[in-house]
Structure 1
Amino acid sequence: MLLRSRSLSLGLLALASSAAAQGQVWVVDDQPGPGVDFTSIQAGINATADGDVVLVKAGSYNEHPQITGRALTLIADLGADVRVQWGAGVFGNHSGQPVVVRGLHVPGNSQAYTTGLGIGNASGPVWVEECVLRGSHVQFAGPGTGVIITNSFGGVTIARCDILGGSGTGKASPGNGGNGVFSEGPVHVFDSIVRGGDAPPITSFPFFGQTGSGGAAVTLFNGKLFGSGASFTGGAGTNGYAHPTFGCVGGGSGGAGLSSFGAGVSVVLLDSPVQGGSGGAAFGACGLGANGPQFSPGLTPTTLNGIAHGLQVLSPVREGQPISATLHGAAGEQALFALSTTPSLGVVSQPLAGVLLLAPPVSVLGLGPVPPSGTLSVSATAGLLPPGIEGGTLFLEPAFVDPSGPSVVLGAPSTLTLLKTGL
């Protein structure tokens, strides 16, 4: 199905209307060369004004880039394998400073404690898309967290990511696995895999005969979670063993699927299975560890009926290149998406089975019915950006109308970053 040129023109018109807030693209590559502005992601970030884009080419970056108090898009080039060895951070963005982090791969290192992505003191929205975020696994330093969100109430939206807590310390002191996500504020997780870190296997005898437990997939401290099309699995406990002094030591317990403490915690789930981690393996008569709970005691989620819906747009896209989007829903539903240059803080709507994520002004584009396969693909060719604009980011959120109801549900969002030719 071809997305009409009128629809695309509306999207570019919306981008043009924000020309004052969006403009320059800074190109980062780990190898210097023509068209490369910086060989460090942090140097690219430091050069930005609000609304700029930092475009990162394929490579390995031995740094810990931090976005502090500014609005920008940090995005890997389409198809690029961007490895950020020491994790990344977003700190202190205000309500009018949205941040997008897309396409980064943090492998989780074994040299020093790191978090895959840390978000702190953020009063503005942060969108994280198509990232692999893993906590560190350092002996004697404790496990890193995949994503940690502290003192941040602007709303963190995670879409199509793979998040894993770090493993325990290993060897002579088996530690617990790390959290996949730890959040003190609202977090919305769409079409993602979130896992607690596994406690490491015993490779030598711990002094006191300890075992390690798996990490929780998500731990909320006064936080709120909305999950759609996601899976949450606790980490596995360490194996049992026979200690020469303390005798039989059973396997460690698995981590919780979802864990919480503090007041004001809420969890709303749609089509998002939750599973505790497996207990550590037995060793002869040294017993099997207990499986982790699905939910920690006292945590009762609200479970919505229906299937997860969603949108994925390939990004970034340059002028003259195809814009390709895929929507998934129920056959026969009428699909549309809304687009804006500004995201909102995010309001969970149970009647709409989603989160209202866009701030006005919003354009709404109809795309037609979802076919029997449940997947609708649309495409168009990107036109020219307005003069003086090298790039900018649009925020998109799909909606699906069931004509037999009628009823409306929302789906997983996506961003679209548009770039000048030649970047």
Structure 2
Amino acid sequence: MVLLRFLLLRPQLALAFFLMSLGACTQSKKPAASVDAARGRHEFRYTNPITRDTAVSMRDHFIIKVGRQWFCTGTSMPVWSGPNPGVRLLVSDDLIHWRQHSWLIDAKTLPANCPYNGRFWAPEIHYIQKKYWLTVNSGQVTAQDPKGMKTHSIWLFSADKVTGPYKLVNGPLTPHYNNDATLFEDEDGQTYLYCSGNGLWQAKIDLPTGKLLGEIKQFRGAKDANNPGWMVGGIEGPFVLKRDGTYFMFFSTWTRGYEVGLLRSKSPLGPWELAAPEPIFGTRKREYRAEMARNGGYSNLVFADTPDPYQETGHNAIFEGPDGQLWSSCHYFFDQRSTPLADWQKVPQLGIEPLHFRNGIFAIDGPTWTEQTVRY
């Protein structure tokens, strides 16, 4: 009422207030990506999590840009309770609105004796040597092993198009449990396989045959003596890129929540060292996997909860964003202790953030949960 009287006595201010309100309403209706024609500038607006749909819920999101579209795959639901539907492919024209494209691997079509018909975890698609290479982590379901975990390892497929069809090249690539496989091609054309499995592993790989060149070796365990406390719960989800002659490896840990750490090396096969003493991204919640922390002996770690509303933001991958720069994708999972939660908030969804390079290392600001604007 006081504001109304004030504006009635000052009509010029009232007009200005009205125009400001109109401008705010107009701005809220702009598309996710827009162009300021007068200045030749582009604007991209987004709010995490990007997807808000139980039908396309995934973990471990991996995005690849092909032409003017983005394609996304990941670990489909259900994650923990046994076989899941297969390898899902989503597509988007603007990085905001996603729709189901197809199943790269449809579990319903696989025979009972298929050696990779279990849980399809953390698939990735890499464009190398003019072909698309799909890594899939799975095992064979049997009566004795209904989740296929005893034979869970890495399988390599290839295709001429990002949408497939994909044909099996080789698998399993390793003789023991491995997961979260990723590929990296160096400037000299040599290719490398990195993965997890009670730590981080690496090897050179010949993609046309899918054969490892030498033995795959573990180079870092979660409980190595030189590791900080925030890594002891477990490490997984490697992703490698190169910048200014230095190799950087992103990885995730679930010790204090779900956080992303960063390693670096002058060689694609190490030795790898921590590029930063603390995680470069992620969320920390004191009660996250509390029972696992107690059983693992690290429940006494001292830290403060992050202010975000999530319990998980991790297992990231890097892709080309709307501005032509590098961005990070991963799953964003709301804190399940929060109430009430919408159905889509009870399952993991896609989140994205710009990737920055500061002081010689990569950084990811966030995680964010309010509207963000990137101008370029």
Q: Which has the higher strand share?
A: 2
TM over 0.5: no
Task: Tell me the TM-score normalised to structure 1 length.
Answer: 0.29
Task: Tell me the TM-score normalised to structure 2 length.
Answer: 0.31
Of structures 1 and 2, the one scoring higher in RCO (CA 8 A, sep 6+) is 2
